[in-house]
Chains A and B, each alone.
Chain A
Amino acid sequence: MSLVAAAADTTVQLSGGETVVFWVLGPLALAGALGMVFSRNAVHSALWLVTTMLCLGVFYVVQEAPFLGAVQIIVYTGAIMILFLFVLMLVGRDSSDSVVETLRGQRIAATVLGVGFAALVGAGIARATQDLPVIGLAGAQAEGNIPAVSELLFTKYLLAFEVTSALLITAAVGAMILAHIEREPGTRRTQKELSRARFLTDRPQTHPGPGVFARANSVAAPALRPDGSLAESSFATGTEVQLPDQMPRPTGREQLGSPDAALGTTDGTPSGIPGRQS
């Protein structure tokens, strides 16, 4: 602690601007964290977390660590959260939590312990650091933050840095192995075999795409035959068939109901818009 004693007179006072930033972004970060925990929808949780991370990135910048702040924003909020969202898309965003807690007393116990932990650690930290002198990094990074960080990173922490590369490559390989679907050799059919098999069926041509008439862009909307009947061969697998008329409309439209209404009438008008012929 001789360092602290010696540096006691060099204490840097926090600027008023920083105080303002803290009191604006601090509650926002808290709100983001709480929003993440309480959102039922996983995508919303991710967005709330992005909020918190952005706030933290700003805090880093304010606290004389602009490099970390940039990394936080680029790597965390950029890359990692995108990865989260990507996986969410793969897993399906519908798999939101049900509200019912299955473990008895889990929520209450978690809340009590959480409040207790926050109180104990917060009180402990406050008690231990209330008189902590702030030396500031003006001396440590006189030539700028990035030169200082890189110098330390490539001298004192070189070994750790190099080991990190091994960690990353291992993680990449591991993720590939985990995500990879192993197929038995020979079970994957070639283009030629697929083509041959298709021409042996009753219907060698392609299936019609969904939403052929662009009345809806959902996979659930079936194609219509020229006579207006539903083309069963265009039904998407795994979803209920929904006619565009029955689909919920996006909010914000003035007129609920058939999208055809927005397209105007189809009766004998020369608009050239193809419509249903009765």
Chain B
Amino acid sequence: MTLTYYLVLAAILFTIGAVGVLVRRNAIVVFMCVELMLNSVNLTLVTFARATGTIDGQIMAFFVMVVAAAEVVVGLAIIMSIYRTRRSASIDDANLLKY
């Protein structure tokens, strides 16, 4: 048992989140997948903090959480306003920005 397991777990979680972003269409679920990716990064930061014996990694994880909270607030507000105008929470329906 070494810290490598934590890191590999974080990598797998990150990838699952990324694949979720790619395959899910519900904007809220996509957002959850993004949160999952952020969480997996946090796990990496905490693990490395432990490995190197410094607290800085934990501070970084803390800041990531704060930024994620802000991002969720704004993102969900955006989803709501999109839903209000388009009556849909599918990100495929918001595809006007194209050629």
Contacts and interface: CB of A to CB of B under 8 A. Distances in A.
A208 interface: no
Nearest to B1: A19
Query: Range of interface residues on chain B?
Result: 35 or more
A87 B32 contact: no
Given A68-B58, A125-B7, A97 B26 contact: yes
A71 B4 contact: no
Contact of A121 (B15, B25, B74, B78): B15
Interface in A44-94: 45-46, 49, 52-53, 56, 59-60, 63-65, 67-68, 71-72, 75-76, 79-80, 83-84, 87-88, 90-92
A24 interface: no
A37 B74 contact: no
Given A87-B76, A118-B12, A59 B6 contact: yes
B55 A71 contact: no
A142 B2 CA distance: 23
Interface string B75-97: 01111110110001110100000
A228 B83 CA distance: 40
B51 A178 contact: no
A10 to B, nearest CB: 8
Nearest to A135: B53
B31, B66, B71, most chain A CB atoms within 10 A: B66
Given A49-B36, A63-B46, A37 B20 contact: yes
Interface string B40-82: 0011001101111111101101110111111111101111110
B39 A76 contact: yes
B60 to A, nearest CB: 9
A42 B29 contact: yes
Interface of B: 1-9, 11-20, 22-26, 28-29, 31-33, 35-36, 39, 42-43, 46-47, 49-56, 58-59, 61-63, 65-74, 76-81, 83-84, 88-90, 92
Interface of A: 3, 7, 14, 18-19, 22, 26, 29-30, 33-34, 36-37, 42, 45-46, 49, 52-53, 56, 59-60, 63-65, 67-68, 71-72, 75-76, 79-80, 83-84, 87-88, 90-92, 95-97, 101-103, 106-107, 109-111, 113-115, 117-118, 121-122, 125-126, 129-130, 132-137, 139-141, 148-149, 152-153, 156-157, 160, 164, 167-168, 170-172, 174-176, 178-179, 181
